[in-house]
């Protein structure tokens, strides 16, 4: 049976690939993003996930039209690169507001409809950066750690209403994420941080540009949409990055931190 699915960040990357795949499988897909995009089978709605009033209006209108919302995929996101010390208040607000508060806004607006019917699925796109603190991507990591904690708590609060919560933790994928990253000018200009930041950014951008294709992640999300009992965590990454997640779990904290420092030459 086709489900009613809402996906944020559907104008590009994972969101676009997922929206297209789910629509081709017969689901009714609503794509939310700031840019309005056209795609025959997807209904696009303009929405900045940071703005709760707009989010609520959009979700209320979808629920009014469809009568229910079965699946919410919180995917909208962006990255800010730079030294933690040199970030501006605006940069921190944009990073946390888009990635974390955006996810919370969509959940707050959609849960009343799911709870009323005692069913639903929430799929939150985190990152491997939400499982380990990445140097010079610190606020990005913090926003994804926040999504991890939020999702674990939400799982425990809404399980008894028949609502599942899953976290998808991608490694590096080739999307517009790399080109959209905002890099801190203060860090670039700083004699202490600048050269090291540039070196770590080169490593990250190379990995992203040579990363997996977003269709692969879309397939995992489609499997979660179909699953009777979805898991809580789905790490989707190449072998090396899956290994890093395993090492983070089993090594003493200091030993793992030293490996990260040496990998990113920080
Ligand atoms: P992308 O191609 O840049 O897509 C990002 C999407 O988010 C766009 O559709 C963008 O649409 C939307 N977006 C950004 N800010 C928004 C806002 N304020 N309100 C509404 N929509 C907003 O990047 P992607 O790689 O597909 O990223 C999707 C998610 O995957 C993000 O949460 C990212 O952190 C996560 N992720 C990516 C990677 C990777 O390697 N690519 C790895 C791990 C996790 P508009 O600009 O039109 O609003």
* Residue-by-residue pLDDT tens, the chain, 266 positions: 799 999 999 999 999 999 999 999 999 999 999 998 877 899 999 999 999 999 999 999 999 999 999 999 999 999 999 999 999 999 999 999 999 999 999 999 999 999 999 999 999 999 999 999 999 999 999 999 999 999 999 999 999 999 999 999 999 999 999 999 999 999 999 999 999 999 999 999 999 999 999 999 999 999 999 999 999 999 999 999 999 999 999 999 999 999 999 999 99
Q: Is position 144 annotated as part of the catalytic site?
A: yes
Strands 71-74 and 28-33: unpaired
Q: Could you tell me which of 229, 206, 208, 230 has the C-alpha nearest to residue 220?
A: 230
Provide the pLDDT for residue 212.
97
Structure tokens given for 37: 């995009």
CATH number of domain containing 203: 3.40.50.720
Provide the pLDDT for residue 37.
81
DSSP state of 70: -
Find the domain containing 79 and state its range: 4-263
Q: Could you give the number of structural domains in the chain?
A: 1
Q: Is position 263 annotated as part of the catalytic site?
A: no
Provide the pLDDT for residue 40.
81
Q: Is 127 in the pocket of ligand 1 (CB under 6 A)?
A: yes
C-alpha Rg value of the chain to the nearest Å:
18
What's the CA-to-centroid distance between 13 and ligand 1, angstroms? 7
DSSP state string for 163-187: EEEEEEEE--B-STHHHHPEEPHHH
What pTM was computed for the model?
Answer: 0.98
Q: Is 138 in the pocket of ligand 1 (CB under 6 A)?
A: no
Catalytic residue among 144, 164, 193, 200: 144
Q: Are the C-beta atoms of 103 and 233 separated by less than 8 Å? A: no
Provide the pLDDT for residue 39.
77
């Amino acid at each position: 049976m086709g489900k009613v699915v809402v996906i944020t960040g559907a104008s590009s990357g994972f969101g676009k690939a997922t929206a297209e795949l789910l629509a081709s499988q017969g689901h009714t897909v609503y794509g939310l993003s700031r840019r309005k995009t056209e795609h025959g089978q997807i209904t696009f709605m303009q929405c900045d996930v940071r703005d709760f009033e707009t989010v609520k209006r959009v979700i209320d209108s979808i629920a009014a039209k469809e009568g229910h919302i079965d699946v919410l995929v919180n995917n909208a996101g962006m990255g800010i690169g730079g030294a933690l010390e040199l970030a501006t208040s605006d940069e921190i607000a944009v990073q946390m507001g888009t990635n974390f508060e955006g996810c919370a806004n969509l959940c707050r607006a959609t849960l009343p409809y799911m709870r009323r019917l005692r069913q639903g699925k929430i799929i939150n796109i985190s990152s491997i950066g939400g499982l380990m603190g990445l140097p010079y991507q610190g606020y990005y990591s913090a926003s994804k750690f926040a999504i991890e904690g939020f999702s674990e708590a939400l799982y425990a609060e809404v399980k008894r209403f028949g609502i599942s919560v899953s976290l998808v933790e991608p490694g590096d994928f080739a999307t517009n994420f790399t080109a959209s990253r905002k890099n801190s000018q203060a860090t670039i200009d700083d004699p202490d941080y600048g050269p090291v930041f540039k070196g770590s950014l080169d490593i990250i951008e190379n990995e992203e540009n040579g990363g997996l294709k977003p269709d692969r992640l879309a397939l995992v999300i489609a499997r979660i949409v179909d699953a009777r009992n979805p898991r809580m965590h789905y790490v989707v990454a190449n072998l090396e990055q899956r290994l890093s997640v395993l090492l983070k779990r089993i090594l003493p904290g200091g030993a793992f931190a030293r490996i990260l420092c040496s990998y990113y030459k920080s």
